[in-house]
Amino acid sequence: MAINTNSGEGTTTNYVGFSSFLGSLTLETAANKKAYADAKALVGEAVVKKSFSGLGTDSATAKARKHLKEAKVPVGFSISGKLKNVFYRENEDPATKNKYENLRVFLQDEVGGVKENTILTLDMGSDLAQKLIQKLEYAIPGEEVEIGAWSSLEANPKDPDGPLYAKHNVSVKQNGLEVKVAEGVKHYDVVKVLVDEKYAKLEGADFKRAENKEMFAKARKSVGISYFKEILGRIEAHYKTTAAEHEESDQHHVASESDEGGASYEDGEFSIDPAAAVPGAK
């Protein structure tokens, strides 16, 4: 994997995010960021915001990924190393003053005597981060792990003949086997109940959903973040890292670069964001 920055003699660090439009993890170097921006410019910001559009030859996602491959920028890769830390991080962009709530995953490996760190950052409100948190709760701290993330087009169970939706998927493997969530655990079902309760309070305060879509969307995202932050807190208690490691990750990676919107809990386990419908995709 290419290296983003050299944080000290004998140590290199990779900074990784996720693009729901590309359906891939992203390796964030200065050169790569420019290539990602150029790839998205090929199809336009409005198309990018519609998320993953499949890997068919004519899709916007495929065109952007083709541009990146020609520019020698990695697409569709996974990350691996010893699972050293999993934690929550809230940061503020000094330029915009916007605050970001992120999941951070810290991996460490050694290649040819050189220590290699990999820091994955995901938006806590994203479906991908929340799926990853569920798996990391059952991962073994300190052991080798491989983390992959990708997108696919899926049918809406409630409307099988309707447009396909972008679904974001995550894989966590240890000892060559997929880490599985305990049988019977239905986090999204719990969150859906909490979201419905929040909606009822807003509607009880005479806020109409049709007239306040942005408010309800923010409420849904806030409920999801709060719920999964509690789980993340339990996971974080199993790890120990130095303040210097946290500080380093903040200096180089203030905010998640994911272009994915907030997760939706309308369908329990099968999470669908209405904004992720792919026009014409059947």
Q: What is the pLDDT of residue 113?
A: 82
* pLDDT confidence tier of residue 125, bands split at 50, 70 and 90: very high
- Does 214 score more than 90 pLDDT? no
- Does 83 score more than 90 pLDDT? yes
Q: How far apart are CA 53 and CA 66, in angstroms?
A: 14
Residue 121 to residues 73, 99, 163, 179, Cα–Cα distance (Å): 19, 14, 30, 20
Tell me what the mean pLDDT of segment 167-181 comes to.
95
Domain segments of the chain as ranges: 5-188+222-276
Task: Compare 120 and 208 and report the one with higher pLDDT.
Answer: 120
Task: Write out pLDDT tens, residues 18-71.
Answer: 999 999 999 999 899 999 999 999 999 999 998 999 999 889 999 999 999 999
- Does 139 score more than 80 pLDDT? yes
Tell me the percentage of the chain whose pLDDT exceeds 90.
53
Tokens in use for 121? 């950052």
For 185-218, give the secondary structure using H, E and C: CCHHHHHHHHHHHHHHHHHHCCCCHHHCHHHHHH
Q: What is the identity of the amino acid at 60?
A: A
Residue 234: exposure state from Cβ atoms within 10 A (0-12, 13-18, ≥19): exposed
